Amino acid sequence: MSEIKPTDPAATNAGEEKDWAAAKAFFDSLKTRKPRPPKPQYAVTIAVSSRTLFNMVAERKIYEEEGVEKYVTFQQEHENEPLMPGVAFPLVKALMTVNSRLRQLYPDSEELFDIVLMTNNHAQVGVRLINSINHYDLTIERFCMTGGKSPIGYLKAYMTNLYLSKDGEKVTEAIEEGIAAATMFASGDVENQLSDTQLKVAFDGDAVLFSDESEIIVKQHGLDTFFEHEKEFENKPLAQGPLKCFLEALGKLQRKFYAKNERMTCPIRTYLVTARSAASSGARVLKTLRSWGLEIDEALFLAGAPKGPLLQKIRPHIFFDDQMFHIEGAKELGTIAAHVPYGIGQKYHKGELIEQPVKDKK
């Protein structure tokens, strides 16, 4: 009988690496007319839930009233019927428009938006989701379907820059994990009113781009103390908020257009829409952005005036704010709004404390 010789671990590892390199080279050499997703380490990854991408109100009702088995059966029976567009649909189309422009200027670049469908749906529902994505010719190749479990644990693995959902608890969980996230709200049929050539993103300032440190002073000590504080610390940058990193990612892509002398025709435009007063507290905000090396295309200081009318003029694909009364005001006038559940503002509504602090027991 011939003797079985021991395997050399080093030789095995080298062989596996060679096989992997060969497989990767073969995959990269495959040609397709459909744009392929960029490598995650270079991309700006936007993870959207199935209920933000598509209108699944009727399906959700079946799930809540009849249970998961009836829900899955319904989805399978209707898998050849495309789902209707949801609140994040216009945003996804705008992201694809930016990618198209980037590919024209940088054919070999991997610095693009990558859209991931992040859902706790069961895999059996995946066929209808895939059919719907193909029906609308959306470029979404990466899926994460967790079969009823929370998908939040996968966000970092997918290198997510922004997570959008209709589930406020999951969004809060994502923010606690250090991931930019927001809860999206429907605002009627506004898709036809939005730009199809330029992605427009509007941000609140405090507790969104910046921390809530200044907002705490407003809530606890009033405006006069706030104005004095902002003047005293005008040259001290604010700490970053939960969506600072997303603005940073947008800025990285904007600079690729600027490098090609396309600043005036850049398909990404950003807005700061803040309740702050410009003269009394605006300088610190602008100096903070400058210290971060970030630009904002338009800065609107409203000095406490309603944000809805200005947003109605801007017509952003998404507007981020930490306070629900601003979200509600935006929705009423047709703006797609996304709530960022972060900071002291979650304890207030229209200036009134809604959550009493817990007193220490003696």
Which residues participate in catalysis according to the annotation? 204
- Report how far residue 108's alpha carbon sits from residue 20's, in angstroms, rounded to the nearest whole number: 22
User: DSSP letters of 138-162?
Assistant: ----EEEE-TTS-SGGGTTTTTEEE
- The answer to whether the CB of 341 falls within 8 A of the CB of 172 is yes
- The answer to whether the CB of 244 falls within 8 A of the CB of 210 is yes
Q: Provide the sign of the torsion angle of the four alpha carbons 215, 292, 314, 168, taken in this order.
A: negative
- Residue listed under structure tokens 């699944």: 56
Q: Where are the alpha helices (DSSP H) in the chain?
A: 9-29, 50-53, 57-66, 68-77, 89-105, 126-135, 168-176, 213-221, 223-232, 244-258, 278-292, 308-314, 324-332
- Report how far residue 202's alpha carbon sits from residue 182's, in angstroms, rounded to the nearest whole number: 13
> Any idea how long the chain is?
362
**How far is C-alpha 335 from the geometric centre of its chain's CA atoms?**
16
**Cα–Cα separations (whole angstroms), residue 322 to 131, 163, 278, 345:** 35, 15, 20, 7
- Report how far residue 228's alpha carbon sits from residue 224's, in angstroms, rounded to the nearest whole number: 6
- Report how far residue 5's alpha carbon sits from residue 8's, in angstroms, rounded to the nearest whole number: 9
**Cα–Cα separations (whole angstroms), residue 271 to 93, 201, 277, 289:** 19, 6, 16, 13
- Report how far residue 168's alpha carbon sits from residue 90's, in angstroms, rounded to the nearest whole number: 21
- The residue type at 167: D
Using DSSP's 3-state secondary structure scheme, residue 66 falls into helix
- Report how far residue 68's alpha carbon sits from residue 55's, in angstroms, rounded to the nearest whole number: 18
